[in-house]
Amino acid sequence: MKAWANIEMFEPGTNMRAWLFTILRNVYYSNFRKKRREVEDSDGKLAANLATHPQQFGHLDLVDFREALAKLAPDQREALILVGASGFSYDEAAEICGCAVGTVKSRVNRARSRLSELLSVQSGADFGPDFHSRSVVDAVKP
């Protein structure tokens, strides 16, 4: 079926047998890789233990982040966005801002510190579900 669906890809004058064999080989390897990742769950026990955190926490974290970002000093916000979000190097950000590299590094550091203070973040575990939601989801796992 794959060969028939892609017959326009076959170049007339070339070896059709080799082309078909290549398709068969690729299908075999794809199925082999797929089966390696699959887990047998005929009785449904593994599926019953799956649980995920609600999706709204990510949205709420983003809203909080935007509010905190707006409270930063403009020069700190600019440096943080250039380095943290846009992926510019400190040298490139310094050139864009028209200041020294050390100044950009200092602004980014102060912006990160101020953001963690505004968001009350001590570590990455502070993001996502609160303690009560996390305990409900974790209780489902074996």
- Sketch the domain layout of the chain as residue ranges: 72-122
What pLDDT score was predicted for residue 48?
74
Instruction: For residue 43, name the pLDDT band (cuts at 50, 70, 90).
Output: confident
Instruction: For residue 47, name the pLDDT band (cuts at 50, 70, 90).
Output: confident
Distances (CA, A) of 36 to 28, 30, 33, 46: 12, 10, 5, 17
The mean pLDDT of 64-70, rounded to a whole number, is: 91
Are 2 and 27 a contacting pair, CB within 8 Å?
Answer: yes
Q: Report helix, strand and coil shares of the chain as percent, to nearest 5.
A: 70, 0, 30
Residues 102 and 93: their CA atoms lie apart, in Å, by 11
Length of the chain: 142
Please tell me whether the overall predicted TM-score, pTM, comes out greater than 0.75 for this model. no
Across the chain, which distance is largest between two alpha carbons, in Å?
A: 69
What pLDDT score was predicted for residue 49?
74
Locate 127 and state its tokens: 């993001």
The amino acid sitting at 86 is: S
For 92-116, write each residue's pLDDT tens digit: 999 999 999 999 999 999 999 999 8
Pick the CATH number of 72-122 from 2.130.10.10, 3.50.40.10, 1.10.10.10, 3.40.50.80: 1.10.10.10
Q: What is the mean pLDDT of the chain?
A: 84
Q: Which long-range contacts (CB under 8 A, 24 or more apart) does 77-80 make?
A: 77/111, 78/107, 79/104, 79/107, 79/108, 79/111, 80/107, 80/108, 80/111, 80/112, 80/115
Residues 86 and 3: their CA atoms lie apart, in Å, by 44
Q: Is the pLDDT of residue 127 over 70?
A: no
